[in-house]
C-alpha cells in the first residue's frame, strides 16, 4: 500500500502544478487585459476627439474679431473670438467651455448675444486639444487653467475693464482655478463644476468610462497622470476658493445632474455664503440650465454681472 501511495504522489504533484500554472496564466492574462483596457480608456479620455466648429458669430449677427494668443505656459497657441459691444462696454466676460467642447459649445454665442446688448464684451476661445487650438492632450483643468490665464492676459491688453470668468463643467472648475491665480478676475460664474478632480474621478469615473469601478478606476487613476503628464491634484477648485474670497462666485448646478452631482457645487458655495451664491435649477441635468430655464438663466447671469459692474 505504501508503494502504491508513493507511486501516486508524483501524479498528484504534477496535476497540482498544472492547475496552478493555468490559474497563474489566467490571472496574468486578466491583469494584462485590465491594464491594456485601462490604458486605452485613459488615452481616449485625455486625447478626446475634437469637436469641430460648426457655428460662428456671423450666424448670430454679432461683430467679432478672430484672435490667436498663447497659453500662459508660453507654448500652446490658442484661438478664439472677441465679441465687443457696440456701445460703451462695462465688463469683459471670458467664457470657458466644457470637456470635449469648443468655444461655441453650451450656448455661448446665444449668451453672448444677450450680454453684448447689455454692454458686456465677451471672449470665447478653445482650450488646448479643442476646436482650433493647439495641443494633443486634455487635462481636465490641470493645465487648462494656464490657457484661461492666457485669455485673461489677452483681454487685459485690450482694455482695463473688470474681467468676469464664466465657465461650464470643466470650464467652470478651470475658471475657479484661474481666478485664484489672477487678481485681474473680479468674479466667477461656475456652471456645474467638480470640487476636486482627484476625489471626483475616484467616485465618478465609471460615468465617463462605462467600466466597473473595480478594478478599472484605480488602474486608470494611476495611468492618466503618466499618459497626460499631469497631476490630478493640480485641479482642486475647492482648495482654490480661499484665494478667490471675498470676490463673488455664482454657482449654477442642476439637482438632476447625472455626471457631476450638484452637491459638488453646494459644498463649495457653503464655504463663504456671504460671497458665494448658488442657484439649483430643479430637475436639470448636466449643464442644461440654459436649455431648461432659458429666461431665468440669462436673467441670473445679467443680475450677477450688474452687481459686479456696480462694485467696480
pLDDT tens digits, 216-261: 888 888 888 888 899 999 999 999 999 999 999 999 999 999 999 9
Residue 299: give its domain's CATH number.
3.40.50.1820
Work out the widest C-alpha separation in the chain, in whole angstroms: 107
Which strands, in side-by-side order, build the sheet including 65-70?
65-70, 77-83, 120-125, 91-96, 163-168, 185-191, 249-252, 276-279
Same domain, 71 and 117: yes
Same domain, 129 and 276: yes
User: What percent of the chain shows pLDDT beyond 70?
Assistant: 86
Domain of residue 213 covers 1-46+200-230
Domain final position from 186, 214, 230: 230
Contacts of 35 (CB under 8 A, 6+ apart): 219
Residue 19 has pLDDT above 50, yes or no: no
Q: Residue 33: count other Cβ atoms within 10 Å of its Cβ.
A: 10
Residue 112 has pLDDT above 90, yes or no: yes
R_g (Cα) of the chain, nearest Å: 25
Predicted confidence (pLDDT) per residue in 170-191, tens digit: 999 999 999 999 999 999 999 9
Residue 298 has pLDDT above 50, yes or no: yes
Which pLDDT value is given to residue 35? Answer: 58
pLDDT mean over 187-209: 94
Same domain, 35 and 174: no
Which pLDDT value is given to residue 264? Answer: 98
Strands (E), the chain: 65-70, 77-83, 91-96, 120-125, 163-168, 185-191, 249-252, 276-279
Domain final position from 230, 251, 274: 230
* Residue 172 cell numbers, joined: 467652470
Whole-model pTM over 0.75: yes
Same domain, 138 and 11: no
User: What percent of the chain shows pLDDT beyond 90?
Assistant: 75
Count of structural domains within the chain: 2
Contact 309, 91 (CB under 8 A): yes
> CA 46, 51, 164: angle at the middle one, nearest 5?
85
Q: Say if residue 9 is exposed, middle or buried (CB neighbours under 10 Å; 0-12, 13-18, 19+).
A: exposed
* Residue 34 cell numbers, joined: 485590465
Distance, CA of 121 to CA of 160 (rounded, Å): 12
pLDDT mean over 23-37: 50
Domain final position from 208, 230, 252: 230
Which pLDDT value is given to residue 37? Answer: 58
Residue 3 has pLDDT above 60, yes or no: no
Residue with cell 454679432: 62
What's the mean pLDDT when you consider all of the chain? 90
Same domain, 176 and 297: yes
Same domain, 66 and 135: yes
Least confident of 78-82, 103-107, 151-155, 266-270: 103-107
pLDDT mean over 153-163: 97
Same domain, 177 and 95: yes
Amino acid at each position: 500500500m505504501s508503494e502504491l501511495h508513493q507511486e501516486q504522489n508524483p501524479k498528484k504533484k504534477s496535476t497540482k502544478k498544472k492547475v496552478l500554472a493555468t490559474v497563474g496564466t489566467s490571472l496574468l492574462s486578466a491583469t494584462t487585459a485590465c491594464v491594456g483596457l485601462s490604458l486605452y480608456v485613459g488615452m481616449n479620455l485625455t486625447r478626446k476627439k475634437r469637436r469641430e466648429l460648426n457655428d460662428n458669430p456671423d450666424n448670430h449677427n454679432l461683430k467679432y474679431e478672430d484672435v490667436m494668443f498663447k497659453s500662459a505656459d508660453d507654448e500652446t497657441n490658442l484661438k478664439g473670438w472677441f465679441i465687443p459691444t457696440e456701445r460703451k462696454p462695462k465688463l469683459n466676460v471670458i467664457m470657458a467651455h466644457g470637456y470635449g467642447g469648443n468655444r461655441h459649445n453650451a450656448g455661448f454665442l446665444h449668451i453672448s448675444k444677450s450680454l453684448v446688448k447689455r454692454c458686456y464684451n465677451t471672449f470665447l476661445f478653445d482650450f488646448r486639444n479643442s476646436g482650433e487650438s493647439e495641443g494633443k492632450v486634455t487635462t481636465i483643468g490641470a493645465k487648462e487653467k494656464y490657457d484661461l490665464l492666457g485669455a485673461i492676459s489677452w483681454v487685459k491688453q485690450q482694455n482695463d475693464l473688470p474681467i468676469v470668468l464664466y465657465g461650464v463643467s470643466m470650464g467652470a472648475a478651470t475658471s475657479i482655478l484661474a481666478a485664484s491665480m489672477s487678481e485681474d478676475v473680479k468674479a466667477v460664474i461656475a456652471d456645474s463644476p467638480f470640487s476636486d478632480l482627484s476625489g471626483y474621478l475616484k467616485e465618478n469615473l465609471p460615468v465617463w468610462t462605462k467600466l466597473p469601478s473595480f478594478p478599472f478606476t484605480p488602474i486608470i487613476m494611476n495611468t492618466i497622470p503618466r499618459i497626460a503628464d499631469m497631476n490630478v491634484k493640480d485641479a482642486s477648485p475647492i482648495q482654490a476658493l480661499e484665494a478667490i474670497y471675498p470676490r463673488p462666485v455664482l454657482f449654477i448646478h442642476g439637482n438632476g445632474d447625472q455626471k457631476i452631482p450638484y452637491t459638488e457645487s453646494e459644498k463649495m458655495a457653503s464655504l463663504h455664503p456671504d460671497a458665494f451664491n448658488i442657484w439649483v435649477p430643479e430637475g436639470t441635468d448636466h449643464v442644461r440650465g440654459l436649455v431648461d430655464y432659458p429666461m431665468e438663466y440669462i436673467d441670473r447671469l445679467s443680475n450677477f454681472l450688474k452687481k459686479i459692474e456696480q462694485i467696480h
